[in-house]
Structures are given as C-alpha cells and as structure tokens.
Amino acid sequence: MNATWSRFNVTSIVLGFAFLYLPIVLLIVFSFNESKLVTVWGGFSTKWYVSLFHNQGLMDATWVTARVGVISATVATVLGTLAALTLTRYTRFRGRVLFSGMVFAPLVMPEVITGLSLLLLFVAVGLDRGFFTVTLAHITLTMCFVAVVVQSRLVSFDRSLEEAAMDLGATPAKTFFQITLPVILPAIVSGWMLAFTLSLDDLVIASFTSGPGATTLPMKIYSQVRLGVTPEINAACTILIAVVAVGVIIASIANKRREVQRQLDEQAAQRG
C-alpha cells in the first residue's frame, strides 16, 4: 500500500466521521448546559432532564410513540419477512413485477406523498384519524425496509440445508421453524429494530395520518423546535439517542458473540 494514499484514507475517514458525529456530540453536550441560551456554556446541569420529566405533553407523546413503534414494528416484521420470502422464493407468479415495485418504491418515495396518499385513503374509507391510522401507516412504510433487510439474508441462504431437512422427513412448516427461521433470525431482529427506529423517527407521515390525542414525539418536538431551540429539547433528543445507541450496541455485541460461538462450534465439529 502506498503511504500517501493510506494517509489520505485515514484523513478522509477521520474528517468524515467528525462531520457525522460533531453535531450530535454538540447537541448532547449542550443538553447539560446550565444556561437557557443553547449556544452559550453556563456550567454543567441536569435541570433540563428534570424539567423534561415534568412536561406532561412530552411524556404523553413519548408513550404514544413507544406503543406505535412496538406494534407497527412487530406487524411490519411479520409482513416484511413474508414479502422477503415471496421475493426470493417465488420467482414466477402473476404480478411479481408489481409486487417488487411496491416493496422497493416506498424506500425512496418522498414522505409527503406517502403521508398524503395514506391520509386520503383513511378519509375515503371513513377511518377516524388517530393512534390506529398512524400505526397502519407506519406498518406500510417499515415493512418494506424489513423486507429488504431479510431478503439480503435470504439471498445468501444455503437452501440445501432445507432440502436436507425435508429429505429427512421434516414437514415444510417444521423445516421453516427449525432451519430457515434460526438462520435468518438476526436479519429479522435487525429488521424489527430498523422498523422500530423508523417509526420512532417519523414526523411527516405521522403528521398526515395522526389525529387528536395521538401526537407522537417527533410531532411534539417539531412543534417546539419551530418556536426555537431549547435545552429541554436537547435533553429529550439526548435520551432518544442514548436509547437507540444502547440498543444498537447491545444488538451488535450479541451478534458478534453468536458469530464467535458459531465459529467455535464449527471448529469443535471439525475436530470432533
């Protein structure tokens, strides 16, 4: 490797990550600021976190968001996994092109279009806007992301394992639950987490499809941000970031452990 190139590589990685992380770090730092002015440092304080927990509106919104997130991510994971199975296993059926189009298009569709169209659907069928409609909207959006994540695992899946199980007399259902599911489980878990964070994060689609009494956390944050940057919002954002970061780190450590365990098992089996 050429020395100048590797210095260039290191510099670009360092600068790139600084660009990605500096704004988030600054946001977290200033959530511990004593001063009400967000950009002037007035000493360390956790008072904004205390006032956050006394903000009933924000707490209600957090509860709504958590419920919408868990329900929609769970349903979306089931539907998304089915969609991924359809995409990889059934290569020929009527309307397959339309189906794959409907799975991939929502990934890039501007949120304003998805939000508006879902709202008009709910109005057309006479569904009252609220908790239920936001959940339906989030299922629709996030199942496509789950489908892509699970599909990428299914594509590299060795199908001879399934065939072996079937040859040994396992029913298709048993084969699926004992062979296929354990292998694609990491992808399903990360699909669920992706769906959950997307739901947690969504402002635009929720604003269109939500109704009175179902204000989500991003909607609440957005309406307060429009009035100005406050340390309290910084504190709320810091907690959100911490929750997600802890989740992702635990998941990746668990993944690594499983990987190491699997390698050890394989080595043991070879020696065996």
Partner 1 sequence: MSNIAVADAAAPSTAKPFLTRLGAGFVNRLVIIVPYLWLLFFFLIPFVIVFKISLSQTAIAMPPYTPVLDFSDGVSGFFAGFRDLNFDNYVWLTQDALYFKAYVTSVIIAAISTVLTLIVGYPIAYGMSRAPATIRPTLLMLVILPFWTSFLIRVYAWIGILKPEGLLNQLLLSLHIINQPLVILNTYTAIFIGIVYSYLPFMVLPLYSSLEKMDYSLIEAAKDLGCPPTAAFWKITFPLSLPGVIAGCLLVFIPAVGEFVIPDLLGGSQTLMIGKTLWNEFFANRDWPVSSAVAVILLLLLTVPIMLFQQAQARAQEQGK
Distance CA(16)–CA(85), nearest Å, equals 37
| One-character DSSP codes across 48-103 | HHHHHHT-HHHHHHHHHHHHHHHHHHHHHHHHHHHHHHHHHH----TTHHHHHHHH
**Interface with partner 1 includes 9 (CB under 8 A)?**
yes
237 binds partner 1, rule: CB under 8 A: yes
Residue 64 binds partner 1 (CB under 8 A): no
Shortest CB 12 distance to partner 1, Å: 4
Which window, 43-51, 75-83, 179-187, 261-269, contacts partner 1 (CB under 8 A)?
Answer: 75-83
Nearer to partner 1, 155 or 185 (CB): 155
Residue among 152, 154, 134 nearest 142 (CA): 134
Q: Are 45 and 33 a contacting pair, CB within 8 Å? A: yes
Among 94, 168, 182, 269, binds partner 1 (CB under 8 A): 94
Is residue 116 close enough to count as binding partner 1 by CB under 8 A?
yes
Shortest reach from residue 254's CB to partner 1, in Å = 13
| Interface segment toward partner 1; rule CB under 8 A; list 45-53, 97-105, 178-186, 264-272 | 97-105
- Subset of 17-46 contacting partner 1 (CB under 8 A): 17, 19-21, 23-24, 26-27, 30, 38-39
Write out the DSSP string of 143-166.
HHHHHHHHHHHHHT--THHHHHHH
What is the total count of residues that contact partner 1 (CB under 8 A)?
A: 95
What is d(CA 52, CA 178) in angstroms, rounded to the nearest whole number? 46
Residue type, 219: M
Please identify which residue in 77, 135, 142, 151 interacts with partner 1, judged by CB under 8 A: 151
Give yes or no for residue 221 binding partner 1 (CB under 8 A): yes
Which residue stretch of 46-54, 55-63, 118-126, 177-185 sits at the interface with partner 1 (rule: CB under 8 A)?
Answer: 118-126
Q: What's the rounded Cα separation, in Å, for the pair 113 and 139? A: 16
Structure tokens belonging to residue 81: 């996994």
